[in-house]
Amino acid sequence: MSKGPQRIRGTQDIWGEEADRFAAVVAAFDRVRRLYAFQHVEIPVFEATEIFARSIGETTDIVSKEMYTFEDRGGDSVTLRPEFTAGVCRAFLSEGWQQHMPLKLAMHGPVFRYERPQKGRFRQFHQLDAEIIGTDAPAADVELLVLADQLLRELGLSDAVRLELNTLGDAATRDAWRAALIAHFEARRSDLSEESIGRLARNPLRILDSKDSGDRPIADAAPGIDDFLTAEAAAFFARVTAGLDAAGVCWTRNPRLVRGLDYYRHTAFEFTTDRLGAQGAVIAGGRYDGLIESLGGPHTPAVGWAAGIERLGMMIEPPPPARPDAIIVPLGDVAEAAAQHILADLRRAGIACDMAFRGNMKKRMAKADASGARFAIIIGEDELARAEAKVKTLGSGEQASIPLSRLAGALRPA
């Protein structure tokens, strides 16, 4: 017997408990973003390729190796989004959202990267994303970090995840630190891995997070950013950490946490866990004050983060399965036809219900018991003649006759 078509490697069919976990993460995110007055937005799942090439950087692995890029029927190069931020910044410019600054935006959906599938990593995966665009206030960084912390609390993960925080300083800080790093790594060029030698010319900060065992002693001995922080940059970071302390958010300084692209400024952070193996980050982000400018817009400060829905879903307790309030058990063809009308009325009244419409009475009642419903609604021709139904409380076995006109009210929790 043929297996039939198979799903493409790196994609997933999400159902059952896994789908319930996924939905629980999204629902928690939606609750929290409303508490923080973040607006929900939807952006296209594909953009002009240049949007991602300019925002993520031509020399990064994402652009050079991982993007799903193709020519459409009109001959234009388009790319499935590998992340949200670039598309949000494009929308900010093309849709005239500048007039609404500062903007607090939240979104979620699929993203696409051609990378090696592994635990919690897929080629089509899903992210939550939160952004604040149009303010350089440290309070915006604090707001996003407290939002992320509350999301983790809602999901029951606050004890499993820690916040690692760093500053990348302002432009003057970054330029001075970059120059010192280049001098440090150039002096040890012969001992660097081939990958790090390639990064030295275009993205020396990335050497700091090299996974090559030969690079680690050199990276660990590199100058730290604190020696180059301007007074303004140090004051900004102090206001962020003070805000986190005031909000009761625990954090750990990680001076080696970096973002390689030049438009990143000031705050960089990751919420990490040891429950998912080597790929430990579940939420990551930072301030990207130069990104919109790099896309051809005016200087517009912004900060944001993204979180993997699947990765968060793997860590949470499975939510209780959805159970109907009642199962209708019709007896006979006439009752089955009438049950459709009763079923629709109950659902419109906000009662979650289903119908057992196959098998004999015993099998139908077994389905009602197995569903976890509180009630079985038994309808036969005799009941219909009296315009009523027998309602059996499945936990206790108690049974009562209820007029159909009062059925919805009788089924609602007291």
Query: Dihedral of CA 96/102/108/110: which sign?
Result: positive
10 Å Cβ neighbour count for 402?
18
For residue 82 the two structure tokens come to 């590998």
Q: How far apart are the C-alpha atoms of 112 and 126, rounded to whole Å?
A: 8
Q: How far apart are the C-alpha atoms of 223 and 255, rounded to whole Å?
A: 10
Query: What's the predicted TM-score (pTM) here?
Result: 0.89
Q: How far apart are the C-alpha atoms of 13 and 6, rounded to whole Å?
A: 11
Contacts of 387 by beta carbon, 8 Å cutoff, 6+ apart? 403, 404, 405
What CATH class does 326-411 carry? alpha beta
What CATH class does 16-170+230-315 carry? alpha beta
DSSP states of 244-312: HHHHT---EE-TT----STT-EEEEEEEE-STTTT--EEEEEEE-TTHHHHTTS----EEEEEEEHHHH
Strand arrangement, sheet containing 265-272: 39-40, 103-112, 124-133, 302-308, 281-287, 265-272, 162-167, 252-253
Contacts of 7 by beta carbon, 8 Å cutoff, 6+ apart? 13
The domains of the chain are located at: 16-170+230-315, 326-411
Strand arrangement, sheet containing 77-80: 46-48, 77-80, 69-71
Res 332: pLDDT: 87
Res 123: pLDDT: 92
Res 1: pLDDT: 46
Res 357: pLDDT: 78
Question: Hunting for tokens 């419903």 — which residue is that?
Answer: 373
Residue 408 CA to its chain's centroid (Å): 37
Query: In a 3-state reduction of DSSP, which class is residue 162?
Result: strand
Among 322, 320, 305, residue whose Cα is nearest residue 152: 305
For residue 296 the two structure tokens come to 């051809």
User: Residue 38 has what DSSP assignment?
Assistant: P
Q: What is the pLDDT of residues 279-328, one digit of tens each?
A: 689 999 999 998 899 889 999 999 999 999 999 999 999 988 888 999 99
The one-letter amino acid code at 316 reads I
* Sequence-ordered alpha helix ranges (H) in 349-393: 361-371, 381-385
Res 44: pLDDT: 97
* Contact between residue 388 and residue 404 where contact means Cβ atoms under 8 Å apart: yes
**What is the chain's pLDDT, residue by residue, as a tens digit (414 residues)?**
457 899 999 999 999 999 999 999 999 999 999 999 999 999 999 999 999 887 665 545 555 578 899 999 999 999 999 999 999 999 999 999 999 999 999 999 999 999 877 766 789 999 999 999 999 999 999 999 999 999 999 999 999 999 999 999 998 998 899 899 999 999 999 899 988 998 888 788 888 888 888 889 999 999 999 999 999 999 999 999 999 999 999 999 998 888 767 678 899 999 999 888 766 899 999 999 988 998 899 999 999 999 999 999 999 999 888 889 999 999 988 999 999 999 999 999 999 999 987 878 888 888 888 899 999 999 999 999 999 999 999 989 899 999 999 999 999 876
